[in-house]
């Protein structure tokens, strides 16, 4: 079953620090199974598996979990050590406080600090010193990793009420809708995530054996494979499934399966910065990219698999999603893209 895809932007942004250090990023891409040619396509996307592998290659090659973007080097193993400390915490509040205390041992500090109000809690980004983060990837990664680590530890996604950023909306800002699933605020006074404080009392349900297994692929997997099971978007994706060769369920049926009204569900999706039509379109796009990676599948067969009765309609839709035809995209993945 194909996972969600990751924008070319994040692939390139992740490599900025390594490039500045003079490392061979083309070799890193190839080691992760990503064709450098593919990245010449402006709207290209890679699979979450490829992106996860790239992050692991990048951390290993740089020996730096900040990927050359931070105010200092974070030696490989820093994240794992923090996880070893927080696994014994009783609840999410203790996790975030313990993680902050660990992070402030290093100077300059890079951390998320917990602030608790009457009804809401905030994780506020604290970075001391100068950073080299022109594409905002380091800041985005810290927010995502701390949020998703907490969600994994308590066994349920921490639903965000708001995500704030102390910088202008970047050119890839539209991707933020699918990362944070909440209202976004740019040019804010701080970079922070806000959520209901009830999550802070949620108990940590993971144990040390689970943590050891988790650390085999994390934090790479936290960046590339979010757990959306508790979002309305994720629930709808699960109900739609992956078989687009048959008629898709309509919105009213989806709403009834989720025990809500169509009006309420539309409102919930708007809060998550998406719509039913967009969820269907993005599923089709990601499935098409997945199938194009299977070189033995004819493009006309792929069109049918993702729900298009006419190949020409599929070609038009795919070009709208990626800027190129399915054939050109496949050549990019093969490394045969013509100049």
The pLDDT value recorded for residue 248 is 87
Give which of 224, 204, 185, 244 is closest to 34, Cα–Cα. 224
Residue 255 scores a pLDDT above 70: yes
Sorted by where each begins, the domain ranges of the chain are 5-224, 232-331
Which helix (H) or strand (E) element contains residue 77?
Answer: none
Only one residue has tokens 């895809």, namely: 5
- If you average pLDDT over residues 307-319, what whole number do you get? 93
User: What is the percentage of the chain residues whose pLDDT exceeds 90?
Assistant: 78
Cα(308)–Cα(315) distance, integer angstroms: 10
Across 126-140, 188-202, 298-312, least confident range: 298-312
Question: Which run of H or E residues covers position 192?
Answer: strand 192-196
Residue 321: name the closest of 293, 295, 286, 274 by CA: 286
CATH class of 232-331: mainly alpha
Residues with Cβ within 8 Å of residue 28, at least 6 apart in sequence: 15, 18, 54, 57, 58, 61
Over range 293-312, report the average pLDDT: 91
Position with higher pLDDT, 338 vs 181: 181
Q: Please, which pLDDT band fits residue 160 given cuts at 50, 70 and 90? A: very high
> Pick from 144, 79, 84, 133: which is nearest to 106 by CA?
79
Question: Is the pLDDT assigned to residue 81 strictly greater than 80?
Answer: yes
Taking a C-beta distance cutoff of 8 angstroms, is the pair 157, 195 a contact? Answer: no
Query: At what angle are helices 276-292 and 262-271 packed, to 10 degrees?
Result: 60
* Contact call for residues 92 and 206 (beta carbons, < 8 A): no
Query: How high is the pLDDT of residue 220?
Result: 81
Does pLDDT of 47 surpass 70? Answer: yes
Separation between Cα atoms, residue 276 and residue 279, nearest integer Å: 5
pLDDT band with cut points at 50, 70 and 90 for residue 3:
low
What pLDDT does residue 245 have? 81
Q: Is the pLDDT of residue 302 over 70?
A: yes
Q: With a cut of 60, say whether residue 2 has pLDDT above it.
A: no
C-alpha 93 chain-centroid distance: 23
- Overall pTM surpassing 0.75 (yes/no): yes
> CA-CA-CA-CA torsion for 295, 299, 304, 310, nearest 10 degrees?
180
In total, the chain counts a number of residues equal to 339
- Confidence at 1, pLDDT banded by 50, 70, 90: very low
pLDDT at 171 over 90: yes
What backbone phi and psi angles, to 5 degrees, belong to 245? -75, -15
Q: What is the mean pLDDT of residues 120-147?
A: 96
Task: In whole angstroms, give the CA distance from residue 101 to residue 179.
Answer: 27
Name the band, by pLDDT with cuts 50, 70 and 90, for residue 230.
Answer: low
In this predicted structure, which of 31-40, 77-86, 236-245 has the lowest mean pLDDT?
236-245
175-228 residue pLDDT tens: 998 899 899 999 999 999 999 999 999 999 999 999 999 888 888 888 877 666
Average pLDDT, the chain: 92
Query: What mean pLDDT is predicted for residues 72-81?
Result: 95
- 3-state DSSP: the chain helix, strand, coil percent, rounded to 5? 50, 10, 40
Percentage of the chain modeled with pLDDT above 70: 97
pLDDT at residue 272 in the model: 86
């Amino acid at each position: 079953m194909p996972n969600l895809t990751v924008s070319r932007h994040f692939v390139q942004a992740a490599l900025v620090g390594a490039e500045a250090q003079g490392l061979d990023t083309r070799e890193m891409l190839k080691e992760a199974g990503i064709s450098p040619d593919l990245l010449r396509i402006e709207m290209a996307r890679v699979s979450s598996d490829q992106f996860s592998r790239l992050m692991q290659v990048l951390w290993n090659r740089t020996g730096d979990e900040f990927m050359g973007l931070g105010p200092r080097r974070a030696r490989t193993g820093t994240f794992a050590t923090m996880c070893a400390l927080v696994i014994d915490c009783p609840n999410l509040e203790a996790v975030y406080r313990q993680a902050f205390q660990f992070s402030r041992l290093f100077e300059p500090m890079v951390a998320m600090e917990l602030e608790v109000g009457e009804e809401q809690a905030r994780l506020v980004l604290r970075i001391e010193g100068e950073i080299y983060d022109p594409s905002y990837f380091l800041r985005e990664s810290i927010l995502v990793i701390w949020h998703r680590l907490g969600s994994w530890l308590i066994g349920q996604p921490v639903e965000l009420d708001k995500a704030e950023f102390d910088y202008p909306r970047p050119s890839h800002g539209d991707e933020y809708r699918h990362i944070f699933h909440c209202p976004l605020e740019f040019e804010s006074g701080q970079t922070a995530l806000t959520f209901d404080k009830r999550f802070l009392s949620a108990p940590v349900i993971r144990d040390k054996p689970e943590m050891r297994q988790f650390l085999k692929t994390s934090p790479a997997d936290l960046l590339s494979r979010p757990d959306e099971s508790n979002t309305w978007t994720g629930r709808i994706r699960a109900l739609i499934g992956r078989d687009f060769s048959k008629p898709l369920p309509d919105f009213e049926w989806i709403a009834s399966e989720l025990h809500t009204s169509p009006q309420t569900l539309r409102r919930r999706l708007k809060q998550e910065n998406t719509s039913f039509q967009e969820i269907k379109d993005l599923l089709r796009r990601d499935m098409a990219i997945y199938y194009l990676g299977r070189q033995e599948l004819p493009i006309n067969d792929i069109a049918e698999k993702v729900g298009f009765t006419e190949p020409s309609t599929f070609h038009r839709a795919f070009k709208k999603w990626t800027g190129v035809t399915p054939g050109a995209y496949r050549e990019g993945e093969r490394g045969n893209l013509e100049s």
